[in-house]
């Protein structure tokens, strides 16, 4: 049986480059896209999945779209009043809760299919999302390890796309030598982005598509993402700081992950008779 890896796959540039890196290392890569109520057009992930199948071969790249509605509800509302008392409005951290449901489904998929390696497109530039913060990623790594699965983030250290506003460029041009230095730094950073690497591989028409119409055409959009941003940027961060946010994210998700790690262990022992199995949609 070929050595396989599983990838949580959104269809965006980060997860698509992660797929490329895994394809160079493993005999087969299974891309898992997840759908639930509130996530729109998850079928768009098939756009770049098909490009990957063309580049690496249909036998090497497999793509599935699985439901996680029941798991997401369970992760969100499990011990609701206890969590409300302990963590308050952190229950609005829907992006992290959604991703935890996806990780649980991925772990179950691995156990069912004998897969020992899981990756995702987590990136250091997206660290306002709890599921992409080092502390939470470490907890997820421990959760997977408890089930005998290795978890990695192959594109974590890639740079976020740089940006220079028009007005910034206008003023730089008035300072001799400064514009050239700034542009050189800009280009150096740009070459370390996932978009640039995909452009070099011939999978993207330009080296930065994030936020463009093309980007919106190749991955899903989420309604709860709006709620998360309102809570984080209009309620939490204006009255706190990022360090506290990270600490409280670690505390909240640490309890969530510990709870569901135990349920994942029960699934390993009892299979379809476990509680976790009753929340997994096939």
Burial of 254 (0-12, 13-18, 19+ CB in 10 A): middle
Is the pLDDT reported for residue 185 higher than 70? no
Residue-level pLDDT at 176: 52
Mean pLDDT across the chain, nearest whole number? 89
Residue 26 near residue 16, CB atoms below 8 Å: no
Residue-level pLDDT at 207: 79
* Percentage, residues of the chain above pLDDT 90: 71
The DSSP bridge pattern shows strands 4-8 and 39-40 to be: unpaired
The alpha carbon dihedral of 82, 85, 88, 90 has a sign of negative
* Percentage, residues of the chain above pLDDT 70: 88
Q: What letter would DSSP give residue 232?
A: I
Let me know if residue 282 belongs to a domain: no
Let me know if residue 16 belongs to a domain: yes
Let me know if residue 268 belongs to a domain: yes
Let me know if residue 176 belongs to a domain: no
Let me know if residue 74 belongs to a domain: yes
214-259: per-residue pLDDT in tens? Answer: 888 999 988 888 889 999 999 999 999 999 999 999 999 999 999 9
Residue-level pLDDT at 170: 39
Let me know if residue 76 belongs to a domain: yes
Task: Lowest mean pLDDT of 2-16, 51-65, 171-185, name the range.
Answer: 171-185
Q: Which of 91, 42, 49 is nearest to 67 (CA)?
A: 42
- 25 vs 3, 29, 56, 190, CA distance in Å? 9, 9, 12, 25
Instruction: Assign residue 145 the CATH number of its domain.
Output: 3.40.50.620
Residue-level pLDDT at 188: 56
Let me know if residue 163 belongs to a domain: no
Res. 172 pLDDT band, cuts 50 70 90:
very low
The verdict on pTM exceeding 0.85 is yes
Res. 160 pLDDT band, cuts 50 70 90:
confident
Residue-level pLDDT at 162: 59
204-213: per-residue pLDDT in tens? Answer: 988 778 778 8
Residue-level pLDDT at 248: 95
Res. 31 pLDDT band, cuts 50 70 90:
very high
Let me know if residue 198 belongs to a domain: no
* Helix, strand, coil % over all residues of the chain, rounded to 5: 60, 10, 30
Please give the structure tokens belonging to residue 41: 């057009």
Owning domain of residue 65: 4-158+205-277
91-150: per-residue pLDDT in tens? Answer: 888 899 999 999 999 999 999 999 999 999 999 988 999 999 999 999 999 999 999 999
Number of domains in the chain: 1
Is the pLDDT reported for residue 5 higher than 50? yes
Is the pLDDT reported for residue 182 higher than 60? no
In whole angstroms, what is the distance from residue 93 CA to residue 117 CA?
27
Residue-level pLDDT at 189: 57
């Amino acid at each position: 049986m070929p050595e396989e890896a599983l990838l949580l796959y959104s269809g965006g540039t980060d997860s698509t480059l992660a797929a490329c890196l895994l394809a160079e290392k493993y005999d087969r890569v299974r891309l898992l896209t997840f759908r639930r109520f509130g996530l729109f057009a998850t079928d768009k992930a098939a756009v770049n999945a098909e490009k990957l199948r063309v580049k690496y071969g249909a036998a090497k790249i497999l793509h599935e779209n699985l439901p996680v509605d029941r798991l997401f509800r369970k992760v969100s509302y499990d011990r609701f009043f206890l969590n409300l008392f302990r963590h308050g409005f952190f229950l609005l951290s829907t992006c992290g809760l959604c991703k935890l449901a996806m990780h649980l489904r991925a772990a179950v998929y691995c156990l069912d299919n004998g897969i020992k390696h899981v990756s995702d497109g987590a990136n250091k530039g997206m660290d306002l999302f709890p599921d992409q913060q080092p502390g939470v990623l470490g907890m997820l790594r421990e959760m997977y390890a408890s089930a005998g699965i290795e978890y990695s983030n192959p594109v974590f250290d890639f740079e976020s796309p740089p940006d220079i506003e028009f007005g910034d460029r206008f003023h730089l041009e008035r300072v001799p030598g400064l514009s050239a230095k700034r542009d050189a730094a800009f280009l150096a950073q740009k070459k370390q982005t996932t978009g640039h690497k995909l452009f070099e591989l011939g999978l993207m028409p330009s080296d930065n598509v994030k936020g463009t119409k093309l980007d919106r055409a190749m991955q899903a959009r989420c309604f709860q993402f709006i709620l998360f941003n309102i809570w984080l940027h209009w309620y939490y961060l204006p009255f706190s700081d990022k360090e506290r946010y990270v600490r409280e994210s670690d505390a909240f998700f640490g309890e969530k992950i510990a709870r569901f790690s135990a349920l994942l262990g029960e699934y390993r022992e009892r299979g379809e008779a476990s509680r976790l199995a009753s929340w997994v949609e096939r």
